[in-house]
Amino acid sequence: RDSRQLGFPNSENDGGHDAKNLRVKLVLLGDSGVGKSCIVLRFVRGQFDPTSKVTVGASFLSQTIALQDSTTVKFEIWDTAGQERYAALAPLYYRGAAVAVVVYDITSPDSFSKAQYWVKELQKHGSPDIVMALVGNKADLNEKREVAVQDGIDYAEKNRMFFIETSAKTADNINELFEEIAKRLPRPSAS
Ligand code: GDP
pLDDT in tens, 6-43: 444 434 444 444 668 889 999 999 988 999 989 998 99
Tell me, what's the pLDDT at 174? 97
The whole model's pTM is what? 0.86
Strand partners, 27: 78, 100
pLDDT tens-digit map of 118-131 = 999 899 888 999 99
Tell me, what's the pLDDT at 60? 67
Tell me, what's the pLDDT at 53? 57
pLDDT tens-digit map of 53-106 = 555 444 468 899 988 888 899 999 887 655 555 566 677 778 889 999 999 999
Name the residue at shortest CA distance from atom 18 of ligand 1.
35
* Length of the chain counted residue by residue: 191
| Spacing of C-alpha 60 from chain mean position | 13
Strand partners, 132: 100
Tell me, what's the pLDDT at 147? 98
Question: What percent of the chain lies above the pLDDT cut of 90?
Answer: 52
Q: Is the CB of 77 under 6 A from ligand 1?
A: no
Tell me, what's the pLDDT at 89? 65
Neighbour-count burial for 141-159, b at 16+ CB within 10 Å, e otherwise = eeeebebeeeebeebbeeb
Tell me, what's the pLDDT at 177? 97
Name the residue at shortest CA distance from atom 22 of ligand 1.
138
Q: Do residues 63 and 77 make contact, with C-beta atoms less than 8 angstroms apart?
A: yes
